[in-house]
Structure formats: structure tokens, C-alpha cells
Amino acid sequence: MPAHRSTRLRGNAGLAWMLAALWTGVILLAGSDLGSVTTTSRFLGPLLRWLFPDTAQATLDQLYFLVREAAHVTEYGVLSLLAQHALGFRWTRIAPRTAGALACVLLVAAVDETRQAFTPSRTGSLGDVGLDTLGGVLALGAAFAYTRAMHSWRAARERS
């Protein structure tokens, strides 16, 4: 890595960790009473009814469930990318950064679901920890595939 890039990256490490910590706070907030089914159904239910006015209630309920589950995948996918980016300031190789990012995802998911198990309006679930981790794996896999494709595209462009 050129010296100027290394210096620039070191200067942004604090910001990268702050963003990862901030996003972790968003996840933990969503895992509180504010993210309970009762609370989110107040705005998500009417939104789904407005978007799909002629849909049966049973179908809307299934869609509502899918939206909530997709939120797990999305929240933790973003966390994995932020964590990998923050870890990139310390490790230059992809494997340790990816393993570290997945460890962060697993830790936050386990803490969040454990906390939810003790929150009256929430239910902690080992299955949700798995879903959260899957979100991290999918996001990191997509980022890796995108990076490889861009690298190949640039290399082919330079050869021609």
C-alpha cells in the first residue's frame, strides 16, 4: 500500500469505529421496546395496507413478518460492512478483517437477543442470531464479489 494511502486510512480509523459503534446503537435501539411488534405495527401495518390495498389481511401479516425479518438481515449486513471497514485500518488481509467483522456481528446479535429475552415486549431468539449472522455473511460476500468484479474489470481495461 502506498504511504500516502496508509496515512490517509489511519486518519479515518476513529471515524470508521465511531460509525460502527453508532450503527450498533441503532441496532440495540431497534431491539428495545421501540422495535417491538406492537410499536412497529402502528406504522408498518397502515403503510402495507396503503401500498397493497386489495391484499388479504393474512397476506399482509406474512409480508409484515418478512419485512421484520429482512430488517435483521439488513441491519447486521450494514454492521458487518462497517466493522470490516473499521478493522481494515488494522489488518490489511481480507480473511482476518472478515472473521473480525463476523465476530462483531455475532457478538452484537447475541447481546441484543439476550437483552430481548429479558424485555417484556420482546422475545430473544437463537434463530434471530443466525439470521443476523446470515445478514453479515451475505453483505460481506456481496462486497467481496463486487470488489473482485471491479478489480477484474479494471485489469481488463488496463490490458486493452
Report if residue 80 sits inside a domain.
yes
**How far does Cα 119 stand from its chain's mean position?**
22
Distance (Å, whole) CA 107 – CA 95 = 18
pLDDT, mean of residues 16-35 = 92
Report if residue 88 sits inside a domain.
yes
**In terms of residue numbers, what domain contains 17?**
3-35+72-159
Q: Is the pLDDT of residue 21 over 60?
A: yes
Provide the pLDDT for residue 101. 95
Report if residue 84 sits inside a domain.
yes
pLDDT, mean of residues 124-131 = 93
Q: Is the pLDDT of residue 105 over 90?
A: yes
Q: Which residue has the cell 453483505?
A: 139
Q: Which three cell numbers stand for residue 155?
A: 485489469
Rounded-to-5 percentages of helix, strand, coil across the chain: 85, 0, 15
Task: Give the length of the chain.
Answer: 160
Report if residue 146 sits inside a domain.
yes
Report if residue 43 sits inside a domain.
no
68: left (phi over 0), alpha (psi -120 to 50) or beta: alpha
Q: What is the mean pLDDT of the chain?
A: 88
pLDDT band at residue 29 using 50, 70 and 90 as cut-offs: very high
Report if residue 51 sits inside a domain.
no
Q: Is the pLDDT of residue 92 over 50?
A: yes
Report if residue 55 sits inside a domain.
no
Report if residue 41 sits inside a domain.
no
More confident: 117 or 160: 117
pLDDT band at residue 156 using 50, 70 and 90 as cut-offs: confident
pLDDT, mean of residues 33-44 = 83
| Domains of the chain: total | 1
